[in-house]
Structure 1
Amino acid sequence: MVILSHFAGDPYYKHFGHYAVRVFFILSGFAITAALHEVYAFDLKRFWANRALRLLPLYYLILMASLATVLALPAEAARFSSDWASPNLRDVWLNLGLMPMMNWAYPFRLVMPAWSIAVEILMYAYLSLGLARRKSYALMLFGAAVAFHALTILGQDDWDTRYFDPHSACLDFAIGALVYFWRKESLAKVSYRAILPLLMLWAANMVGGGWIFSDDYVRLEGFYLNSLVGAALVAAVADWRPAGAWRDVDGYLGELAYPAFLCHWLAGFAVALAFFEPDARGTGFACAAILVSLAIAVVMAALNERWIEPLRRTIRRGEKVTAAPSRENGVLGGAGA
């Protein structure tokens, strides 16, 4: 959905990526809260070491490849994306720091998904430093997020504030954390049999926005319905216990997701140069970019499994509080906890 929203060239598809990212934020809030309680016991040294190993090596791999590409083909890169135009040394240093990329208005970014990664790290800080310890703390985060979104709506702030402001993500991460606590209390049990109907409802809300429903619906009612359905979907998936081949596929798709997310602008640029024009957009182009992104992701996942995952498994072998039930279904593994 993210790649389609970036490369389809039709404004209609823009919110597909927005809605998908928000559901991922809910999943991440759930998985990270579960990991903090059931895997790391709020041992922040182990937690942050594993987060850094999960996020940063592949990020810097794509960053360096993007920098080499932009320097080698500056005119073509600038045609493909204005975010790759006219780099300077200060720009490169800010991209290396990653966290400045949280400001979406920043004009030059080597790895376009860096905004989402920086927001994730900020949310990890909030959850790990206390807001995921108790349900009441997660409720406080949720209440603050609701107030933030209400103020942006009442103040008639533009869409960018409601979506791209880093603290807007608190809503979905808080929802994910609350799903974890409510499941523990049997208050948010959703049968895995609801996965398909919920997926259909989620897709209908996304596809209908901007087509059957207005653009205003996309940015307001549909946006928040997306989070509501996403929360139910995460709860349902958490109740799923795949076995055998299903479990293997579930885990492997989880391992491909982050690399594909990271590399898709580079993959799209390669497809544009090879088969289209440097400024190519369109659904055919987007589909080709998805296939190439997945192919590159397979290689990146293999490198990650060879060099990074052994270190992460060593860190995870520290003392556990309980046998984490949510790891049985691949949710934590897929989210890279």
Structure 2
Amino acid sequence: MFGALRLFLAITVILSHFAGDVYYKHFGYYAVRVFFILSGFAITAALNEVYAFDLKRFWANRALRLLPLYYLVLMATLATILVLPIETARFTSDWAAPNLNELWLNLALLPMMNWAHAFRVVMPAWSIAVEILMYIYLALGCARRKSYAALMFAAAVAFHTLSFLDESGWDIRYFSPHSAALGFSIGALIYFQRRENRLRVPPRAILPLLLLWLANTVGGGWILSDDYARLEGFYLNSIIGAALIAALADWRPAAVLQALDRYLGELAYPAFLSHWLVGFAVALAFFGTDARGTGFALAAILASLVVATFMAALNERWVEPLRRKIRRGEKVTQSPLPDTRDLGAAGA
């Protein structure tokens, strides 16, 4: 039962980008980090229980999940930039200086995990590229054994500790691709702990944990300082997010709720992927190309959900049948998880 959580986190990211107040920035940072924990959990489960470390099937499925919609949004965004160069440049500086060399990097996707690019066509490309890097770590071995996941976690803790001690700054602790190893390793460890029956957070804890997450997110930069939001609150966010994911993994609601949850989860990735292009369209039509603010953010969220519905339908028609064929390989164990098909930030 992770679909609704995925969509909620995607909406939180959109709010942080378009609300127009620096206060909301860390909302997106926190949501992305919970995404990473969820992906670490889901991909570790999928590698062990769906693909049995058959990496050919795993990567084929990952490519089908991530890339068709990514390139669809990239091409639509690029066409918009070429047709409306002045308006798109006003909406975001990332679209202001298109050039061929940067375009090739956008097409390759993986180079976009480095945030320092003058021309970023699909803004969420950074987090997608980082996810792929983490998939590589997990597939190469960190998802095979609990001890390997623990080593990944220890390396991530060392990275974050050293980046704090040498005063590298917030950008290193958040935007550096390797900083994501903390969330992914936590997710992998949740999987192994649950498999060994050593970690059980009861489903009744879901609502209190969600409220605690909201309190930590909303309080940072408002009741508590910006420094708290980027340090203590940032790491507390991961702790709460990990507990929430562990609790959701044990929730077994009625079949109708499971179906609804799965559908909501299918909207998360296309909404997250397309929200800058959709936001530009909303701004151009109703607000002005330099629009920001809570009213604009809410309109962009609603429009993104509408567009995501159509994108999910296209994906279900043309891509998901292929992914289902790939997933039909023999499972090596009885899965203790509710459904390994749709767990991660971008689906497993």
- Which residue matches 2:235? 224
Question: Please, which moves more after superposition, 180-189 or 6-15?
Answer: 180-189
Instruction: Select which of 100, 107, 125 maps to 1:114.
Output: 125
- Which residue matches 2:262? 251
Instruction: Select which of 101, 109, 112 maps to 2:112.
Output: 101
- Which residue matches 1:284? 295
| Moved segments of 4+, more than 3 Å | 327-331
Aligned residues with identical type, % of pairs = 75
The residue identity in structure 2 corresponding to 1:262 is L
Long gaps (5+) in structure 2? 1-11
- Displacement of 1:319 in angstroms is 1.5
Cα distance per residue 1:98-133 (max 9 Å; x no partner): 011100111211000000000000000000110110
Cα distance per residue 1:190-227 (max 9 Å; x no partner): 01110000000000000000001101101100000000
Query: TM-score with structure 2 length normalisation?
Result: 0.95
- Which residue matches 2:55? 44
Pair 1:143-2:180 in alignment: no
Whole-Å Cα distance in 1 between the matches of residues 110 and 344 of structure 2?
25
- Displacement of 1:322 in angstroms is 2.0
Q: Indicate conservation of the 8 Å contact 2:252/2:338, yes or no.
A: no
Q: Indicate conservation of the 8 Å contact 1:238/1:331, yes or no.
A: no
Whole-Å Cα distance in 2 between the matches of residues 101 and 303 of structure 1?
26
- Which residue matches 1:182? 193
Cα distance per residue 1:126-171 (max 9 Å; x no partner): 0011011000000000000000000011011111100000000000
The residue identity in structure 1 corresponding to 2:112 is M
Q: Indicate conservation of the 8 Å contact 1:23/1:231, yes or no.
A: yes
- Which residue matches 2:7? none
Whole-Å Cα distance in 1 between the matches of residues 137 and 344 of structure 2?
21
5 Å matches for 1:11-50?
11-50=22-61
Q: Indicate conservation of the 8 Å contact 1:238/1:329, yes or no.
A: no
- Displacement of 1:89 in angstroms is 1.2
Long gaps (5+) in structure 1? none
Superposition RMSD on alpha carbons, in Å?
1.1
The residue identity in structure 2 corresponding to 1:190 is V
Instruction: Select which of 177, 181, 186 maps to 1:170.
Output: 181
| Equivalent position SS for 1:326 | coil
5 Å matches for 1:153-168?
153-168=164-179
Q: Looking at both structures, which has the greater relative contact order when contacts are Cα pairs under 8 Å and sequence separation is at least 6?
A: 2
The residue identity in structure 2 corresponding to 1:294 is L
5 Å matches for 1:203-222?
203-222=214-233
- Displacement of 1:332 in angstroms is 2.7
The residue identity in structure 2 corresponding to 1:170 is A
Pair 1:83-2:94 in alignment: yes
The residue identity in structure 2 corresponding to 1:197 is P
| Equivalent position SS for 2:333 | coil
- Displacement of 1:185 in angstroms is 1.4
The residue identity in structure 2 corresponding to 1:237 is L
